[in-house]
Structure 1
Amino acid sequence: MSRTLTIAMNGITGRMGYRQHLVRSILPIRADGGLLLEDGSRLQVEPILVGRNANKLKEIAARHGLSRWTTDQDAIISDSDVDIYFDAQTTSRRYAALTAAIEAGKHIYTEKPTAETLEQAVDLAHRAADTGLTIGVVHDKLYLPGLIKLRRLVDEGFFGRILSLRGEFGYWVFEGDVRPSQRPSWNYRKQDGGGMMVDMFCHWNYVLEGILGSVKSVYSQAATHIPTRWDENSQAYPATADDAAYAIFEVEAPTGETVIAQLNSSWAVRVHRRELVEFQVDGTHGSAVAGLFHCESQQRANTPRASWDPDVPTDIDFLSQWAEVPDDGAPANGFRAQWEEFLRDVAAGRPHRYGLASAARGVQLAALGQESTDTGRKLSVPQLVF
């Protein structure tokens, strides 16, 4: 026994929409014959490509042997054949599309931020409440092998009392004059919804919630380190959005204790670490460093006795004191893993664990981060009520 869910995939011509969601998630699920569900039946998926550029959509459809594509967003959202609406558009177009999809009774899976303002993000969460729809927000980093292992260490009590988290994210994004930029130019224009803080704080909120607990305060500083960049047509333009954000968060652990989290995010930094993002968690009984794929740990008993002596070079090889945390089974693509969980939730008629309320908290944290930057103050994070 099998059934097919039709998914309208909007924004699929963009980098993330195409590479991670279509090519590395939905098409492999489709090629594998769908998902095996708990009741022994199979769930197949059939994508419809949606976007604003007909030529790009037509080319992608032909490349992957897909028959359906459209530039008519309104028509596809209201199409009775569509079961799920997926959104990977630019943030400025997302609120209206998600609102229409909720009103049309579609299940929703969406990238974040879900809206440009906190008011809109909260409105979406209220609109979705009690609809019976399965609505999921992409929280891909929690499904990555490195963070899965880090969460496992937390669950098993490896750290003892958790004291702090330090995170480093970023890489050098070329300005576009001599070497082409790796990111679209709108990312660096505030008026088009760009900016490091608005982009990454929604990620950091769910990472902190998923690993440590609820975020209670934020103190941040955003910066535009590179004031001029060059767009896709090699034309110079002023960078009006921040390209780096530095923040300290207070996080309340489930035990009620406070954990200090420091996160640096920058598109103007050169990488001197194993991966483009790494998180170090320190506790009374042990520490661990996790990236997208790797996770290394050090127990209290294996911690070297370090001391500060600027006159004598140390003979301790600190990095050799860390042990790799093994995989628990074959690591999966994080985007596909969450897609599969979401699709199983749709099939079972149950809520997805990461919904629009979680997304609203991420938008709230970005807004408070900007306010902290503007005022120079540490700000508490009010609890949102849904």
Structure 2
Amino acid sequence: MAERTIRIVMNGITGRMGYRQHLLRSILAIRDDGGIVLPDGDRILVEPVIVGRNADKVSRIAADHGIAEWTTDLDAALADETASVYFDSQMTSGRKEALLKAMARGKHVFTEKPIAESVADGIELVEAAEAAGITSGVVHDKLYLPGLLKLKRLIDAGFFGRILSVRGEFGYWVFEGDIIPAQRPSWNYRAEDGGGMVLDMFCHWNYVMENLFGRVEAVTAKAVTHIPERWDEQGQKYTATADDAAYGIFELEGGIIAQVNSSWAVRVDRGELVEFQVDGTHGSAVAGLFGCKVQHRVQTPKPVWNPDLPTDQDFPSQWDQIPDNTEFTNGFRAQWEQFLTDIDAGRKHPYDLAAGVRGLQLVDAGLQSSGEGRRVEIEQFGGRA
């Protein structure tokens, strides 16, 4: 059987997500497992070329993980014709320029979100990809979560009947950094550096909605900065200029209403850090990162409101967990494998730069809605994913 090697220029792997999820748990895991075995028995091998601004950090990562090639010179890495893929997980503010450079060199591109800082910039990237004739991919990691894969299985099986509504809760308390160090980078809370809850998470919610329930047709949102002052990695106090919470109502095609709360200033009282409750005429489900529990209409209890007596019903026990029934891999790795397989086969990846533009459109509409205090309709870009 044949073996083919794909060399990948990986930029931004010193950051939390770039290092843990994309490098360690995806590309290096694929490498160490002997590559991706295709249905015909052929195998795709991977070789990362890691790029970063800090030579000490990048060289240390390379040495720790047996990576032969590293550099601080992105242009030199992109000039290497043996590397056919460019991956970007650097700060949002530098992403567009790097992606354009990579596509001009004929590289296929796979990128974190948001793909750019504006819809216009995103459309420019789509046009550049089309002109270069390359395959593009945008990280859609939440679609590969075990909980949402189980939820998708329920949808495809018609479990819900007609879906009525979706309610999402996401987030946790991110420490301010004065007494306990913050567990997220300080740039996330500075709008001038590309931070902000709407910019960060509405891109995710757009692809979750459009791939599970339906396109977002209108939004009503409120973005707020609950914590106005934070402390950075050097212990210096700074003003938080970006929103750290967003409360959104999304109107989806087919009349489905989705409500999603996203906050870095909330203390968690739920099973997982993200949960979606889906209610339909025939049944309901609550899906998180890993679990998915259901309640069918024939099992639905009949609670009665009585403020004079404490309830005697144990509501959590009235739901049934969906069994795994299959082996789930890391969601980032699963999409990497799909993207690399699509490149090898010469086909379009379903979650491309056009999908990234639609995420940015929801970001813009959400910020406009919050700023103007009104409902905003969305004319979404490109074909359906």
Query: TM-score scaled by structure 2?
Result: 0.98
Matched, 1:359 2:360: no
- Match among 268, 272, 277 for residue 275 of structure 1: 272
Contact 2:361–2:380 (Cα < 8 Å) also in 1: no
Give 2:298's aligned residue: 301
Report the residue type matching 1:205 in the other structure.
N
Letter in 2 for 1:364: Q
Q: Which residue of 1 aligns with 2:4?
A: 3
Instruction: Give 1:112's aligned amino acid.
Output: K
Q: Which residue of 1 aligns with 2:263?
A: 266
Distance in 2 separating the partners of 1:133 and 1:340: 17
Letter in 2 for 1:338: Q
Q: Deviations over 1:213-244 (max 9, x none)?
A: 10000000001000000000000000000000
CA deviation map 1:11-56 (0-9, x unaligned): 0000000000010011110011111113321110000110111000
The count of corresponding residues between Structure 1 and Structure 2 is 382
2:87 is equivalent to residue 86 of structure 1? yes
Specify the alignment match of 1:126 in structure 2: 127
1:293 counterpart SS class: coil
Answer yes or no: is the 8 Å Cα contact 2:123–2:357 preserved in 1.
Answer: yes
2:226 equivalent in structure 1: 225
Q: Does 1:59 align with 2:56?
A: no
Residue type of the alignment partner of 2:19:
Y
Instruction: Kindly provide the CA deviation profile for residues 126-164 of structure 1, in whole angstroms up to 9, marking residues without a partner as x.
Output: 221264322111000000100000011001000000000
Say whether residues 1:214 and 2:215 are aligned partners.
yes
Q: 1:313 aligns with which of 287, 306, 310?
A: 310
Sequence identity, in percent? 62
Aligned partners of 2:104 and 2:132 also within 8 Å: no
Aligned partners of 2:123 and 2:307: how far apart in 1?
53
After TM superposition, list the pairs within 5 Å mapping 1:9-158 onto structure 2: 9-129=10-130, 131-158=132-159
Partners of 1:40 and 1:354 in 2: CA distance: 26
CA distance in 1, matches of 2:66, 2:132: 35
The residue aligned with 2:164 is 163
Say whether 1:205 aligns with 2:206.
yes
> What amino acid does structure 2 have at the position aligned with 1:150?
L
Amino acid at match of 2:237: A
The alpha-carbon deviation at position 102 of structure 1 amounts to 1.2
1:220-259 correspondence to structure 2 within 5 Å:
220-252=221-253, 257-259=254-256
Of 341, 356, 359, the residue aligned with 1:344 is 341
For 1:41 and 1:237, how far apart are their aligned partners in 2?
A: 53
| Residue identity matched to 1:376 | G
Q: 1:284 aligns with which of 281, 284, 293?
A: 281
Secondary structure, counterpart of 1:84 in structure 2: strand
CA distance, structure 1, for counterparts of residue 304 and residue 272 of structure 2: 28
Does the 8 Å CA contact 2:129/2:135 hold for their aligned counterparts? no
Alignment root-mean-square deviation, CA: 0.9
Query: Is there any run of 5+ residues in structure 2 with no aligned partner, and where?
Result: none
The one-letter amino acid paired with 1:163 is L
User: CA 1:385/1:34 → structure 2, altered by over 3 Å: closer, same or farther?
Assistant: closer
The code of the aligned residue for 2:6 comes to: L
Q: Distance in 1 between matches of 2:40 and 2:133?
A: 21
Q: Which runs of 5+ in 1 are unaligned?
A: none
